[in-house]
Structure 1
Amino acid sequence: MANTKELSVEEKLRALYDLQLIDTRIDEIRNVRGELPLEVEDLEDEVAGLTTRSEKLKQDLDGIDEQIKSKKAAIEDHQAAIKKYTKQQDSVRNNREFNSLTKEVEFQELEIQLAEKQIKELKASMEHKKEVISNSKEKLEAKSSHLKHKKSELSDIMSETEKEETFLAQKSAEFEALIEERLLAAYKRIRSSVRNGLAVVSIERGASAGSFFTIPPQTQVEIAGRKKIITDEHSGRILVDSSLAEEEREKMQQLFAQI
């Protein structure tokens, strides 16, 4: 819902700091999850890959088995041909026919030897693939177990934080709606460029929170006056005075306590 009236600078600063406190709390919740969602996603990809590979290897085994059956059937055909040609040799009329049949028998014997050699190679390939399948199965079981554990871990964290994160995301959107587009864009730009996501910080002991650079006294007076938006010349962060920050922290603590 868009803001219907122009906010004063102080109201803008309060809204910005409130938004920062809410977004920081959301960051903390997401940090609890850490790399878990990515770990789960990576494990799911690994399990899917291993499953596909195992299925492919099993299909290869079926294919090899069919080839072996085909070779064995061919051997039987060659053996039957040898019997036929050998029997025909008993009734030949001349040496030329006998020699021709002898060559046919020799050819069939060579075909049998070739088929037997191919069967041996196919069986060796089959044993190798069975070993790979066994190793893949062990790896798949281990990864699946690990995935189940990580999913359970993530589910537990999500169930604990989902309600709070949803509530805070809604509040974040509400406070964003209070802030003019240009200022909100600056807030988001600063927030994305700093490691800890702090785009709005208070003055603590003469320096911006988390910084060792002292803010000049005159600038501190201007910040406390809450008449204009002032940024830290070193970090680019938007600065608020400590009193305002403390007041808004107390207000936000009450809001968070509602969850």
Structure 2
Amino acid sequence: MENTVAQKLDALIKLQNLDSQLDEIKKIRGDLPEEVQDLEDEIAGYQTRIEKFDNELTAYKDSIKENKDNIKDYEKRIQHLEEQQMNVRNNREFDAINKELETLGLDIQVAEKRIRESKIAIEAKDDQIQQTQSVLDERQKDLDVKKAELDSILSETEVEEEKLLKQKEKAEKSIEDRLLRAYVKIRDNSSNGLAVVPIKRGACGGCFNAVPPQKRADIKEQRKLIICEHCGRIFSNVEVEEVVEEEKPKRRTSRRKSTKDAK
């Protein structure tokens, strides 16, 4: 059995009240959740950067070790060739060995140059790591403070929020899907989170634009759901503004004195 318009409005009003209470709890938190998230993302970025620097350091150290090992191999080869050079049989063999010795000497120079370059790069990378770690430590302190503040607020509102969320979940089940989707869409597009509003003093309770008398009469009858033509919010009811008439001052009457003198 389909709910009546009055029942639909009651369900929407209840849901709006619950959402408004949840919004108030979120206001207490302010921008803390976003600030905590931003700091966590920033810290993750610094950690990734330091990890990248560490990998680069490892590569430089591996390069140094590799070039040192190559130099040892070159020196062994040079020693072996020098021994061979003492026993050559002709000038051609001597020249060939001599040429190979020159090449190995150049290889050693190249390896030594690469070692020096890697050491310079390591020093620069160490400085980058220290600077990044220093900033990371500061951001971590900021995060710890923000998280402690947020956790304190959450602990104070956790029970109430959980209770409201359960009530909201129950309230949503009493609203048809199409209407619930419309309600959520209106709330998302609203700056104050109000999707269901009353008419106050002849105006929309959301955007404060005037509502024609005929439409106000239709809202009171609750024959159909009516939305504001300006902001799209759903009208819940028309609040009655009681006009208290000022009490008219009583006319003061003065007694006329008798013209006759008492005898």
2:115 is the alignment partner of 1:86 = no
Whole-Å Cα distance in 2 between the matches of residues 187 and 243 of structure 1? 25
Counterpart for residue 169 of structure 2: 173
Counterpart for residue 23 of structure 1: 19
Counterpart for residue 44 of structure 2: 48
Q: Which has the higher helix share?
A: 1
Secondary structure of 2:199 counterpart: strand
Whole-Å Cα distance in 1 between the matches of residues 73 and 175 of structure 2? 87
Aligned residues: 240
Amino acid at match of 1:25: Q
- Cα deviations across residues 15-38 of structure 1 (Å, max 9, x unaligned)? 322221211111222233344334
Q: Find the partner of 2:200 among 197, 201, 204.
A: 204
Q: Which has the higher contact order (CA 8 A, sep 6+)?
A: 1
Query: Where in structure 2 are there 5+ consecutive unaligned residues?
Result: 242-263
Regions of 4+ moved over 6 Å: none
Whole-Å Cα distance in 1 between the matches of residues 93 and 217 of structure 2? 121
TM-score, length basis structure 1: 0.77
Q: Find the partner of 2:116 among 113, 120, 140.
A: 120
TM-score, length basis structure 2: 0.76
Secondary structure of 1:171 counterpart: helix
Alpha-carbon distance, 1:161 to partner: 1.7
Whole-Å Cα distance in 1 between the matches of residues 84 and 11 of structure 2? 106
Q: Find the partner of 1:148 among 144, 148, 151.
A: 144
Whole-Å Cα distance in 1 between the matches of residues 48 and 73 of structure 2? 38
1:158-237 alignment to 2 at 5 Å?
Answer: 158-237=154-233
Alpha-carbon distance, 1:156 to partner: 1.8
1:71-110 alignment to 2 at 5 Å?
Answer: 71-110=67-106
After superposition, the Cα gap between the structure-2 partners of 1:200 and 1:123, relative to the gap in structure 1 and judged at 3 Å, is same
Amino acid at match of 2:207: S
Secondary structure of 2:138 counterpart: helix
After superposition, the Cα gap between the structure-2 partners of 1:104 and 1:238, relative to the gap in structure 1 and judged at 3 Å, is closer
Secondary structure of 2:230 counterpart: coil
Alpha-carbon distance, 1:188 to partner: 3.0
Whole-Å Cα distance in 2 between the matches of residues 202 and 14 of structure 1? 12
Secondary structure of 1:203 counterpart: strand
- Cα deviations across residues 104-137 of structure 1 (Å, max 9, x unaligned)? 3222222211211221222222222222222222
Amino acid at match of 2:105: E
2:244 is the alignment partner of 1:241 = no
What is the percentage of aligned positions where both structures have the same residue? Answer: 45
- Cα deviations across residues 139-197 of structure 1 (Å, max 9, x unaligned)? 32223223322322322222122211111122223333444455444433332332222
Alpha-carbon distance, 1:228 to partner: 4.3
CA RMSD of aligned residues (A): 2.8
Amino acid at match of 2:203: A
After superposition, the Cα gap between the structure-2 partners of 1:102 and 1:174, relative to the gap in structure 1 and judged at 3 Å, is closer
